[in-house]
Structure 1
Amino acid sequence: MRPEVFASSLTIGLNDAERIAPVDISIFHADWVKQGIAAAGYRSRLYLTSTEFDPPGRKTLRVPHYRLTQESSDLVMQRFMSDEFAVEDILFLSALKLARSVARQRGRPQTVYMVGFDFAPAEGYSSRIDRDFAPHATDEREARISLQEFYFLNTLYFLQNSELTVKHVGNRAFSVLSPEELTRAVLGAGAGPERPHHRVSVIAELTTNHFGDRRRLERMIRSSAAAGADFVKLQKRDVESFYSAEQLASPYRSPFGPTFGDYRRALELSRDDFGFVDGLCKELGIGWFTSILDQPSFEFMLQFSPTVVKLPSTISEHTDYLDYVAANYRHGVVLSTGMTDQAYERWVLDTFTQCDRLYLMQANSAYPTPLSDCNVGVVRHYHRLSHSDSRIVPAYSSHDFGWKASVMAVAAGARMVEKHVKFGNTEWAHFDAVAVDLTTPKFKEYVDAIREAELIVGREEKQVNASEHHKYFRKAS
């Protein structure tokens, strides 16, 4: 299920479900849940819990918790039909009760889609879950989860002719629609396939190597998606204000005309072009965002409701514009740190306080970057910063040759890596030496190397793996 499906709805998560997708309200009672929520970076706006819990920058409401016992099991549905709100051991009952309160406040019926409730522990976890914080043994977990199916069917009976219409999403006999059908219903027929979720996002940086040619642009996006990229990235600038009149009038040889201005204007994508990109990426199930170099372009791109934007190293000295974005944008900001130092880092951390994610992207602005200047150790520094500020996401922009530095960046903690790509070479365009040619297998090899590094790095917590066994055993005394 793609997270965008939940974007326009009131989303209620149970336990640490916010690790799978952002939710508006989380409900829990078990102490172990706090570890999972902290690992996710506190993504809910409100927490309803019976525990002592004070997450940074989030609201919490303390409510009573009723344990499920043999003696109290017949009271569960009685409480469900009452006006009292509490956290039940059967958590989805509390979520549905909250949804019923919302329906009454809104004065109209509500439809609830129950996603992720397969009631079958053997089905395993979401691909977005890389660690289970729950302490329960396997048998206990199976008993707890399987028991809930009985209460779910009982609840459907109780909610007949009520303010709520509950639709189970899954592949059970009582399911109303499948996850794929819900995705298509919300995002449209062109929603495309769900791509695997990875802890490290790989960005295919197209720059302007499409040369304003929509057919070439389409081939680059399709090739990037086929190679396994999570996002493609484009650029947007207002040519007339970004460059001086002298620069635009200077001689430049290209098929578009005799001046540099002719060349730069031809490379810029129009509103229709970006609409085409949006539709194609939805069809392919790949994300996209844009490096935005000036305020007019930033305001232009807002019409596409971007959930992430990039501010490249090129404009690190344009602090008026950076201030404007920091004050007017609340979503993810990817900020490349080429040609900057620690003073700039401090300024960024003091300025970008409103965005919900801040991707600090180590970069060197030499093309190509010498190996001695990659400084992947900076990624490790950003990783340490993320421990005290959950909004920070360590990242790396590769202007070096090949995949080695990017793989080392993943080992240092990078959760996003970016690689320039191109579609062959042309006689008239500048040769992009560091870009990987999408007409060859090289970008697929780059993505595969990142995925292998992601697998090898694994988790930071030391634990015994299923593949391990003792060769020697201690003798019993």
Structure 2
Amino acid sequence: MGTKIKLHNKIIGEGGNVYIIAEAGVTHFGDLTLAKKQIDVAISAGCDAVKFQKRDVASINDEYWRKRLEYKELSEDAILELRDYSSRKDIDFFVTPHDIKSLDFVNAVLDTPFIKVGSGESLDVDFLHRVGSCKKPVIVSFGLHLSKDEIKKSVRAIEKGGTKQIILLHCNTIYPTQPHLVNLGAINEIKQLFPNYVVGYSDHTLGWHIPLAAVTLGASVIEKHISFDKNDNRSLDCSVSCEPEELKLMVHEIRDIEKAIKQIDEAERNKEIMKARGWVGKMTNKKLN
């Protein structure tokens, strides 16, 4: 347990760079080739990870939802291929399981470095306990939590399962989330509630300026949807996503913000001041001459 998690050669949290996740979601619409292109986009933009989703669509009783979701689903073989593709391309890969069967697949077969819990399952104590029992770092979004007590209950369920490496993401599940409903102040509230855990932000707003603000407020992880056409109405994910060039801009601007908010030591500051004094002196002499 701590305010940082080490993954491969990266530190997530205190002392590390913002960990940026490209959320592929369902905007590949079940197309393996398109899903691979999403991975390429995440790599080109400089993201740290790409994330997909898995659900047992056949077990959904509601016919409307089953039909709505089944054509957006990737097969287990396709997801395994995406994992291997990501490994060859050297980008972190993980998956959000939306049910127990998918969780077992993600944990035992995929063997991803993280298990991501989406907002839809983040209040299911039994599911969270099962997630914790996988003994892997967990990222959980709090998009449906209405109180601090609910957040505590969810975190305790994961801990009791056996995992204390947890990343907590503030989130809002309204698509798109209007700025006045984002409540970025919750980032600090979650930090105060769980000072030993890494805290981040999962975004569902239009554009990418809100994630930038989240970074200035201390978010160590940023998750943002990606798609190739924000106007594609087959999924709500599309409108709140970044297209490829926008994703590059977001990552670049986050890295600039990291540099800007990093506190420099006194020796480095004095060195830069002396450089500036020298430059001003040269300009003054030129004017006098």
Please report how far the alpha carbon of residue 430 of structure 1 lies from its aligned counterpart in structure 2 after TM superposition.
3.5
Name the SS of the counterpart of 1:240 in structure 2: helix
**What is the aligned residue count?**
266
Please report how far the alpha carbon of residue 287 of structure 1 lies from its aligned counterpart in structure 2 after TM superposition.
0.7
Q: Distance in 2 between matches of 1:286 and 1:320?
A: 31
Q: Distance in 1 between matches of 2:37 and 2:10?
A: 29
Structure 1 pair 463/291, CA: closer, same or farther in 2 (3 Å)? Answer: farther
User: Partner residue of 2:120?
Assistant: 314
What code does the residue aligned with 1:226 have? Answer: S
Q: Distance in 2 between matches of 1:312 and 1:271?
A: 19
Match of 1:455 among 256, 259, 265: 259
User: Partner residue of 2:51?
Assistant: 233
Which residues in structure 2 correspond to 1:128-207 (within 5 Å)?
199-207=17-25
Q: In the alignment, does 2:189 pair up with 1:381?
A: yes
Q: In the alignment, does 2:249 pair up with 1:445?
A: yes
User: Partner residue of 1:364?
Assistant: 172
Structure with higher RCO (Cα < 8 A, 6+ apart): 2
Please report how far the alpha carbon of residue 236 of structure 1 lies from its aligned counterpart in structure 2 after TM superposition.
0.7
What code does the residue aligned with 2:247 have? Answer: F
- C-alpha contact 1:237 1:268 (8 A) present in aligned 2: yes
User: Partner residue of 1:286?
Assistant: 91
Please report how far the alpha carbon of residue 39 of structure 1 lies from its aligned counterpart in structure 2 after TM superposition.
7.6
Which residues in structure 2 correspond to 1:27-66 (within 5 Å)?
none
- C-alpha contact 2:125 2:157 (8 A) present in aligned 1: no
Q: Distance in 1 between matches of 2:127 and 2:248?
A: 36
Structure 1 pair 266/342, CA: closer, same or farther in 2 (3 Å)? Answer: same
User: Partner residue of 1:276?
Assistant: 81
User: Percent of counterpart pairs with the same letter?
Assistant: 25
Structure 1 pair 427/380, CA: closer, same or farther in 2 (3 Å)? Answer: closer
- Is the radius of gyration larger for structure 1 or structure 2? 1
Name the SS of the counterpart of 2:239 in structure 1: coil
- C-alpha contact 1:402 1:446 (8 A) present in aligned 2: no
Structure 2 gaps, min length 5? 278-289
Q: TM-score, normalised by structure 2?
A: 0.82
Match of 1:221 among 2, 27, 39: 39
Q: Distance in 1 between matches of 2:215 and 2:158?
A: 24
What code does the residue aligned with 2:158 have? Answer: F
- C-alpha contact 1:382 1:393 (8 A) present in aligned 2: no
Structure 1 pair 358/422, CA: closer, same or farther in 2 (3 Å)? Answer: same
Q: In the alignment, does 2:237 pair up with 1:419?
A: no
What code does the residue aligned with 1:442 have? Answer: E
Q: Distance in 2 between matches of 1:202 and 1:427?
A: 24
Structure 1 pair 467/224, CA: closer, same or farther in 2 (3 Å)? Answer: same
Please report how far the alpha carbon of residue 308 of structure 1 lies from its aligned counterpart in structure 2 after TM superposition.
0.4
Please report how far the alpha carbon of residue 265 of structure 1 lies from its aligned counterpart in structure 2 after TM superposition.
2.3
**CA distances 1:272-301 after superposition (whole Å, capped 9, x unpaired):** 212211121122211111111111110011
Structure 1 pair 215/349, CA: closer, same or farther in 2 (3 Å)? Answer: closer
- C-alpha contact 1:383 1:413 (8 A) present in aligned 2: no
What code does the residue aligned with 1:331 have? Answer: K
Higher helix proportion (structure 1 or 2): 2
Name the SS of the counterpart of 1:446 in structure 2: helix
User: Partner residue of 1:335?
Assistant: 140
